[in-house]
Chain A
C-alpha cells in the first residue's frame, strides 16, 4: 500500500479540514465523513481509505469514511458539448500525468464535438470533503 503516496497527502488534507470544521462547529465526536473523489484525478479509493484510517484523530475515532465517486464531466467552451472523462481511453503515462496535475488534461484531451482543447471541468476534479456528521459538544 505504499505505491501511491499522493493519496496520503490528499487524505491529510481531508482529515485536517474535517478536524477544523469539527472544532469550529463545536463537534465533539465525528460520526461520518463524506468524501467526494473526482474521477479526473483517478484517486485510488482503497489507498485513500487506508490513509484516512491511519490519520484519524481522536475526534473521529469511530467515524465512518464514506467515499463517493464523482464522474469527470467536461464541457467545451467553443461548441458547448458535454462529455464524461474516460480514463480507459488514455495511456498509463497520460493517466498518471492527469492524476498529478489534472490541468494537463488540456494537453491530451479535446472536445469530441469540435476538437477544441478549450474545455472546462464541470465536476470531478480533486478530492472534496463534502460533509461531516457528528455530535455537538454540550454547551
Chain B
C-alpha cells in the first residue's frame, strides 16, 4: 500500500446510512477528476458495492499476489470475487484474518486514492484498518437522525482518542431542514462536509454506473468532493 496517496475509509457507527453508495460515488467522482482510484469493499459479510457499480464477471489476475481488476476505471477489490453469490458468515476473528489476507495479497499499483467501503460500526474492520493502515483517514456518514448521529458521535470520540484524521461527516438522506447534526458537529469541532438529500431516483440507477452518475444523489456527493 506504499504506492497509494490517500487512503479514505468511508465509515459510520450506524448501518444503512449510505456508506456504500457514498464510497462508490466518491471513487467515481475522484476518477472523473483524473485521479487514479481504487475501491475496496471491506464489508465481508454483506458486500454491496458490486451491486451498486454493477460489477460482474471480473476475476483478479494472479501475479505475485493478485492484481485488483479494473472496473469502470477503478481498481476494484471485493471478497465477492471469491465468495461469488454465496453467504459468507464470518465471526470477528475470521473477519480480521480475511482483512489481513486481502491487504497482504492485493496489489493496487500506483493510486492517488484508495476508497474503502467499510462495514457499519466500530468493530473488527475499523480496529484492524486503524491498526494496519498507516495514515488512514475517515470520512464519516450519518443521517439527520439522532439515532444515527449518536453512534457517529462515539466513533468520532474513538478516532480522536486514537489520533486518526477525520475528514468530516457527510449528512445523507436529508428529507427536511434540520440543524441538529450541524450543531452537534460544530460543538465537537468536526467538519460538516455537506448534506445529501434523499433521492427517490437513486434505486433505479443502482447497478448501472452511467445512470448512477446522472442521479441527484451523485451530483450532490460530487459537489461535496469538489469542496474537499
Chain A positions near chain B (C-beta within 8 angstroms): 4-6, 8-9, 13, 97-98, 100-104, 106-108, 117-118, 120, 125
Contact = CB atoms under 8 A, between A and B. Distances in A.
A13 B64 CA distance: 13
A102 B65 CA distance: 14
A106 B89 contact: yes
A139 to B, nearest CB: 36
Given A9-B105, A117-B89, A120-B91, A104 B62 contact: no
B102 A107 contact: no
A106 B90 contact: yes
A109 B94 CA distance: 15
A118 B89 contact: yes
Nearest to A103: B98
A73 to B, nearest CB: 15
A40 to B, nearest CB: 11
A117 B88 CA distance: 9
Q: Which 6 A-B pairs have the closest CB atoms?
A: A97-B82, A107-B86, A103-B98, A5-B64, A107-B83, A104-B82
A103 B104 contact: no
Contacts, number: 66
B66 interface: yes
Interface string B75-111: 0000101111011111101110110011011000000
Contact of B65 (A6, A108, A120): A6
Contacts of A106: 88-90, 94
Contacts of A104: 79, 82-83, 88, 98
A101 B82 contact: yes
Given A5-B64, A8-B64, A97-B83, A103 B89 contact: no
Contacts of A117: 87, 89
B16 to A, nearest CB: 23
A5 B87 contact: no
Contacts of A5: 62-65
A51 to B, nearest CB: 10
A102 B97 contact: yes
B44 interface: yes
18 contacts: A4-B62, A6-B65, A6-B105, A8-B64, A9-B105, A100-B66, A100-B101, A101-B101, A101-B105, A102-B97, A103-B94, A103-B95, A103-B97, A104-B82, A104-B83, A106-B89, A106-B94, A120-B93
